[in-house]
Amino acid sequence: MRRILFLLCGLGVLGFLGLQVRDAEALIASGEVILLDLAPVDPRSMMQGDYMRLAFAIERQVKSSDTEDADPAPAVILAVDGRRVATFRRFAAEGGAGPGEYAFRVRRDGTSIRIEPHSFLFQEGRADEFAKARYGIFRVDATGRHLLTGLADAEAKRID
């Protein structure tokens, strides 16, 4: 009986993980590309190897104290320019996304917001290449769900 229970639990976990991977792959395939300005960060970790701690300029510009009564999982509305670089317009609680705008889910952190993920892992020995990163490349869907898919340099070109 225990073996059957462990097997069912294992299959449930694998099924859940499979659905999460499928959703992420669908977002990568069909999501809109937007770029967010990076704030200065520093690479390297003893445990993880080379990585970049991420901070985004929008996090420093936006204060969420005005939306304390709003949705506990707030979203911001971003406008994109011709290069697909996004800028903050307003909180989603103040109105939905219009033409040329995208909803983008964020987390509240006291009186400010946080954009996840907080780090980007890359192959060891490539820290100098990624130190030139100026933008985070995201795929975002209509609901504001997003996924970091890479980093870009000052000319908005992907760092491979």
More confident residue, 133 or 18: 18
pLDDT at 10: 93
Asked if residue 64 lies in contact with residue 111, where contact means CB atoms within 8 angstroms, the answer is yes
Average pLDDT of the segment spanning 84-108: 85
Mind listing the pLDDT tens digit for each residue in 44-84?
555 556 677 888 888 887 765 554 555 555 888 899 988 89
Say if residue 115's pLDDT is above 80: yes
Return phi, psi of residue 149, to 5°. -115, -5
Mind listing the pLDDT tens digit for each residue in 1-37?
889 999 999 999 999 999 999 988 888 888 888 888 8
